[in-house]
């Protein structure tokens, strides 16, 4: 599948394209003059998102590999729905109701984004959703008891919808037949100047968080959440990403959880704003989740070629992952990711797009 600089869809109900490669089925949907998305059923993956700039010219702002097979290796999390547990669980171990569970782990000995064969690698079922105000796809996956070491049969539903008001929403729901953990997010990388346009160093980032989670060399949390005041993690006012990354305490870039201010309900609240002055595109992130993982792709090394044929190097995009906190199953003071039979996991994140002069 080759990259296209033009939106693949111009309106009407979502269109399904039979899969010819490892991406599974492709779905395209959107509204004329607004947003257009491309979603793959392999990994419930946001593969592309065309957003108009200040002049009304659309560009794809989501990073994805030119070769779909790369989503099984170096680009496995690009745009994917990750789970059962987004982020890291230390040593892949946790306890529930007095019983200890061991998950599959990656090379560093920890469990990342659900394990070695997480939801990003699965082929999801999909159906279209279309109303006068919303259009998109509803995706479903059944994760069996013992999947990657997690207990309980888990039924997961993810809706990916575009509104006429230039919003892209991800709504997650899950039920289980045994006590388990659930923490889902979408792992898209964004460049609001356009995929392949360069890096995101001139973007401005705002994060509505007064505290962040310090981590060790393996990116596992340690100690209490710390105030951002006086540190490179204070993004409560817009800050150019290049300026933020120049601070020594950031090291190779952000890969940190920011502690939002949860209200204890399903009310959407603003978590972050990303703005590209060069194009005027502005993305506001609203969520019901308690945390935001900010990752500035400092480990990109050029081995993945993007849709435009451009090698993705450090800073080619930024991931703003709304989720529960890393390693929270082993940190009793953090919001709980435990789901029990008879309960329903629900989470929602909205990306609201606009332009500024």
- Catalytic residue annotation: 187, 321
Beta bridge partners of residue 167, listed in sequence order = 352
C-alpha span between 64 and 75 (Å, rounded): 8
Please name the residue ranges forming H helices in 132-235.
none
Query: Beta 99-102 vs 111-112: how paired, if at all?
Result: unpaired
Distances 186 to 160, 232, 245, 308 between C-alpha atoms, Å: 10, 25, 24, 22
C-alpha span between 167 and 332 (Å, rounded): 35
Give counts: helices (H), strands (E), the chain: 1, 30
DSSP 49-100: EEEE-TTS-EEE-B--BSSGGGGGTTTTTTT-EE-SB-SEEGGGEEEETTEE
What is the chain's Cα-based Rg?
A: 19
Tokens of 105: 């782990």
C-alpha span between 246 and 214 (Å, rounded): 18
Q: Under DSSP, is residue 10 helix (H, G, I), strand (E, B) or coil?
A: coil
C-alpha span between 339 and 183 (Å, rounded): 10
| Residue 160 burial by Cβ neighbours in a 10 Å radius (0-12, 13-18, 19+) | buried
Distances 253 to 53, 127, 294, 295 between C-alpha atoms, Å: 27, 38, 9, 7
């Amino acid at each position: 599948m080759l990259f296209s600089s033009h939106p693949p869809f111009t309106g009407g109900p979502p269109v399904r394209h039979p899969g010819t490669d490892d991406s599974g089925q492709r779905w395209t949907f959107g509204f004329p003059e607004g947003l257009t998305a491309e979603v793959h059923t392999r990994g419930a993956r946001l593969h592309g998102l065309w957003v108009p700039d200040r002049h009304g010219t659309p560009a794809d702002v989501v990073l994805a590999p030119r070769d779909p097979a790369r989503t099984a290796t170096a680009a496995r999390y690009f745009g994917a729905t990750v789970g059962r547990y987004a982020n890291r669980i230390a040593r892949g171990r946790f306890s529930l109701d007095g019983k200890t569970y061991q998950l599959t782990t990656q090379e560093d000995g920890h469990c990342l984004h659900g394990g070695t064969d997480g939801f990003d690698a699965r082929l999801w079922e999909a159906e279209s959703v279309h109303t006068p105000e919303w259009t998109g796809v509803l995706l479903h996956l059944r994760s069996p008891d013992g999947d990657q070491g997690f207990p309980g049969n888990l039924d997961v539903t993810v809706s990916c919808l575009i509104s006429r008001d230039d919003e892209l929403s991800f709504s997650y729901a899950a039920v289980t037949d045994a006590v388990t953990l659930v923490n889902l997010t979408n792992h898209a990388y964004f460049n609001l100047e356009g995929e392949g346009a360069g890096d995101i160093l001139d973007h401005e980032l705002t994060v509505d968080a007064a505290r962040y989670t310090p981590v060790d060399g393996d990116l596992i949390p340690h100690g209490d959440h710390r105030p951002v005041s006086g540190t490179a993690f204070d993004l409560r006012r817009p800050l150019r990403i290049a300026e933020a990354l120049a601070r020594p305490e950031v090291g190779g870039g952000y890969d940190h959880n920011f502690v939002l201010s949860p209200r204890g309900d399903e009310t959407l609240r603003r978590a972050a704003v990303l703005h590209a002055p060069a194009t005027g595109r502005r993305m506001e992130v609203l969520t019901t989740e308690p945390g935001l993982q900010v990752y500035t792709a400092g480990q990109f090394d050029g081995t993945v070629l993007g849709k435009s044929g451009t090698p993705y190097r450090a800073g080619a995009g930024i991931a703003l992952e709304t989720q529960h906190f890393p390693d929270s199953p082993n940190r009793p003071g953090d919001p709980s990711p435990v789901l029990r039979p008879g309960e329903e996991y629900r989470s929602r994140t909205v990306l609201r797009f606009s332009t500024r002069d």
